[in-house]
Amino acid sequence: MLSLTREGFAVNIGKMFSKESAVNALTSVGALRFRISHSSLMHISLLILILVIAATVRLLPLRWGFQLSEFDPHIHYRLTKHMVDNGFFAWTSWTDTMSWYPQGLPVSGALFPGLAATAAFFYQIANALNLAPAPILSSDVYHPLTVDPVFNFVILFPVIMATLTVLVIYFVGRDIGGKEVGLFSAFFLALSSPYISRTSLGFFDDETVGIFGILLFIFFFLRSIDPERSPRNSLAYGIAGGLSLGYLFASWGAARYPLGITLIFVLVLVVLKRYSPRLFISYGTTFGVALLIATSVPKLGLKFLTEPTVLAVAGMFLLLSIYEISRRIKPNKNKMVFVVGFLVLIVALFFAFSRLGLIGSLEEKFVSVILPSERVGEGPIQQLVQSVQEHRPSTWGSFYYDLGIGVFFIPVGLYFAVQNPTNRNIFLVIFGLTSIYFAGSMVRLTLLMAPAVSILWALALVQLVKPFATILRESPKIPRRRKMRFRARVGKEFSAGFIILMFLLLTVTFVLPSAGSTFPRVVDRAYSPTTIAASSLPLRTQVSDWLDALNWMRVNLEQTDIVASWWDYGYWITSIANKTTLADNGTVNATQIGLIGKMFMSNETEAVKFLKDYDVDYVVIYQSFRQDGTDAVYGDEGKWRWMARIPGLDDTEFGNYTLGTDWIDANEDGQVGTDELVMNEMGNSTVLYKLMHYARDLVLQGYSEIELEYFEGPPHGYFSKADWYGDSQGAFAPMVCVYKVNYD
């Protein structure tokens, strides 16, 4: 048995806690410290700073209020709210009876669930951690939805996803050209004007997760075909790429774009004789997983497999299969017979499927992007597409406004990528050229160009600066006189000057203010108020007309009341006013939109027949006018031509100058004179003209000579306050008018 005296115990305890043992213990702890080089610390710090900049810039619209921007984000909020309240899969059987009255909107067939599901998932995590945001009431105008924590979260969600996307493009750029290219790619995307416009505070739309999904897919797929990786890693990256592309299919219709450029990329690799079994396995794995997810999305379904783009995926897989099998057939004669026979079989299957009607077609909106001429036409679909501002072609001026000095770095980046044709650089060239084409085809798709341009710009800048930076790092060497005479040398002074010049060029885009503004171009775009905060006006001020009107409808209208308006305002009325509408911004029913337009362009007697058939209780219009009574063309007075064209009417019959006014160029000088403007009776008798000018007259002169038969303004309806604002042409007033329909 071990015995220990009191003195011995004290001696042992003293040894345990002696000064030497304490020092040794602290030394051991110090040896476990995290070791990091100075360059790595600087690198990580710069990346964190870029991420902070990306988030901060996108939070600038906060001064205009805590609100969703544009129109589409409101339906995505409603879907997210439905998932949070009823479960992630409850949306598959949800028919939204508050939209597209009377038939309602089958949500699963109209919306992609990826955005809402992602936001709902992150919200549940934030809520569990007690991090769900409280409303930030930075605006004087009350917004009824800010009491909902889900609404507050989806407003912040685009900022979160944009910051994550900037992080992803860093890894993509690093794989292409090293850490420097990764950092500059992240910096340029963080401050990309087109990307900021679609990911700033409140812009809760498909693009929020769309660009994230595209870059994540590119990152994983290019790694999966990297020959330096083990087969197991390549397979893992291929599966991750398929999951990323599948997520993109579940979130955004533009997922067909990365699918298409990947097909072109694989075809180029085959033509350049860069085929490998790794490419075959990665391609099959990635697209197999992605299409399995895509067919599970109700909006796509199994019919998605008959689309030309998906059939092209299958065709490319068969081509790679031919290539792989033929490599294993040794006699050239047998190889030739096999290849020819297989190609004949593919062609025969294509013609058989075509004859049986098993080959589907792309949606018209995607065809119109590839072939812009398809957007020109007199049909209701073409007119509906043309009526949307963001569907119009871009101009070179808009490219420079969005990209700044980066426009001049794009061809330089393409040159360096072509000069070093690695697999990643080949993909970058295809990505860059196709995205520029599509951005030119449609203004909205400058968003697709943003990540490609960011990487090309970063690659160009790094490749231009790198030789001069190397010279600056060199220790000075004094060569012999004989060699000095025959060898030209770039001095450190010139190298430093060139580097400074490159970075001074960046100030043109990121530091110097844009024309007509006190802010740099990127901040100028981010600092703009949300659409509803400015009531759809190009102003940097709070314009409360729409929010006031929506609040009035929410409080004063019955829950069973039906509201008719032009389709632009449907999401606002449904989400914020909580009232049922005939149409919304989804444009899922062009026929019903055409009928609404025809109602506005009809006289009261004809219009009331349509309104009665659809049980309409209130009609909403939005107008803007100047102090002399003329149109300011910010509201429905600028949309009436589309109200006529979409249902197939001749808009010139209602006025060849404005609604209700014809211009007769009597002296043929091409200049509009007041004595050349005459009244158009047909235009003056339309419901839209009468509803606009009745309210306008009350503001300008206190009375109106227009007699309304079936429509009533205040107190049964509502007119917004019509404050005066200024633009380049003088003062104007916006006005939201809610008329009650009186069938008696």
What pLDDT digit, counting tens, does each position of 655-672 carry?
999 999 998 887 777 777
More confident residue, 324 or 277: 277
Hey, what are 190's tokens? 């963080």
More confident residue, 220 or 42: 220
pLDDT band at 414 (very low <50, low <70, confident <90, very high): very high
More confident residue, 384 or 617: 617
pLDDT band at 164 (very low <50, low <70, confident <90, very high): very high
CA distance linking residue 423 with residue 266, whole number of Å: 10
Torsion over CA of 321, 326, 328 and 332, rounded to 10 degrees? Answer: 180
Residue in the structure block whose two tokens are 């039906």: 562
Q: Give the model's pLDDT for residue 428.
A: 97
pLDDT band at 681 (very low <50, low <70, confident <90, very high): very high
Instruction: Report pTM.
Output: 0.87
Q: Give the model's pLDDT for residue 1.
A: 41
Burial (0-12, 13-18, 19+ Cβ within 10 Å), 700: middle
Q: What is the mean pLDDT of residues 75-96?
A: 94
Q: Give the model's pLDDT for residue 22.
A: 55
CA distance linking residue 715 with residue 163, whole number of Å: 48
Mean pLDDT is lowest, of 143-157, 163-177, 308-322, for 308-322
Q: What angle do CA 119, 124, 129 make, to 5 degrees?
A: 125
Q: Give the model's pLDDT for residue 439.
A: 85
Q: What is the mean pLDDT of residues 576-592?
A: 91
DSSP 341-359: HHHHHHHHHHHHHHHTT--
Task: Please count the residues of the chain.
Answer: 744
Q: Give the model's pLDDT for residue 486.
A: 38
250-265 burial, b at 16+ Cβ within 10 Å, e below that, comes to: bbbbbbbbbbbbbbbb
pLDDT digits (tens, 9 = 90+) for 283-296: 999 999 999 999 99
Bridge-based pairing of strands 730-741 and 618-626 is: antiparallel
More confident residue, 327 or 147: 147
Let me know: does 454 contact 192? Beta carbons within 8 Å.
Answer: yes
Q: Give the model's pLDDT for residue 339.
A: 64
617-645 burial, b at 16+ Cβ within 10 Å, e below that, comes to: bbbbbbbbbbeeeebbbbbbbebbbbbbb
Helix (H, G, I), strand (E, B) or coil at 730: strand
pLDDT digits (tens, 9 = 90+) for 441-486: 777 788 889 999 999 999 999 998 888 777 766 665 555 554 444 3
CA distance linking residue 688 with residue 486, whole number of Å: 82
More confident residue, 351 or 634: 634
Q: Give the model's pLDDT for residue 740.
A: 97
CA distance linking residue 8 with residue 23, whole number of Å: 23
pLDDT digits (tens, 9 = 90+) for 374-392: 655 555 555 655 556 565 6
Hey, what are 725's tokens? 């604002």
Q: Give the model's pLDDT for residue 3.
A: 47
Q: What is the mean pLDDT of residues 60-71?
A: 86
Hey, what are 25's tokens? 């213990």
Residue 50, φ and ψ in degrees, nearest 5:
-65, -40
What are the Cα distances from residue 251, in Å, to 110, 210, 294, 724? 12, 7, 10, 41
Hey, what are 95's tokens? 């028919």
DSSP state of 391: G
Q: What is the mean pLDDT of residues 493-508?
A: 71
Fold (CATH) for 545-666+673-741: Rossmann fold (3.40.50)
Q: Give the model's pLDDT for residue 297.
A: 94
CA distance linking residue 281 with residue 229, whole number of Å: 13
pLDDT band at 23 (very low <50, low <70, confident <90, very high): low
Residue type, 151: F
656-684 burial, b at 16+ Cβ within 10 Å, e below that, comes to: ebbbbbbeeeeeeeeeeeeeeeeebeebb
- 581: which strand partners? 563
In percent, the amount of the chain with pLDDT more than 70 equals 80
Q: Give the model's pLDDT for residue 483.
A: 46
Q: Work out the end-to-end distance of the chain between its first and last CA atoms, rounded to an integer number of angstroms.
A: 110
Phi-psi region at 295: left, alpha or beta (left = phi > 0; alpha = psi -120 to 50): alpha
Tell whether the model's pLDDT for residue 553 goes beyond 80: yes
Average pLDDT, whole number, for the chain? 85
Let me know: does 532 contact 68? Beta carbons within 8 Å.
Answer: yes
CA distance linking residue 390 with residue 704, whole number of Å: 37
CA distance linking residue 173 with residue 163, whole number of Å: 16
Q: What angle do CA 454, 456, 461 make, to 5 degrees?
A: 95
Q: What is the mean pLDDT of residues 713-726?
A: 94
CA distance linking residue 691 with residue 621, whole number of Å: 8
pLDDT band at 9 (very low <50, low <70, confident <90, very high): very low
Q: What is the mean pLDDT of residues 21-42?
A: 64
Q: Which long-range contacts (CB under 8 A, 24 or more apart) does 441-444 make?
A: 441/369, 441/370, 441/372, 441/393, 441/394, 442/368, 442/369, 442/372, 442/390, 442/391, 442/392, 442/393, 442/394, 443/389, 443/390, 443/391, 443/392, 443/393, 443/394, 443/398, 444/390, 444/391
CA distance linking residue 519 with residue 61, whole number of Å: 14
More confident residue, 333 or 423: 423
Give the distance, in angstroms, between the CA of residue 142 and the centroid of all CA atoms in the same chain: 27
pLDDT band at 2 (very low <50, low <70, confident <90, very high): very low
CA distance linking residue 484 with residue 507, whole number of Å: 38
Bridge-based pairing of strands 562-564 and 105-106 is: unpaired
Name the residue ranges covered by the structural domains of the chain: 206-360, 545-666+673-741
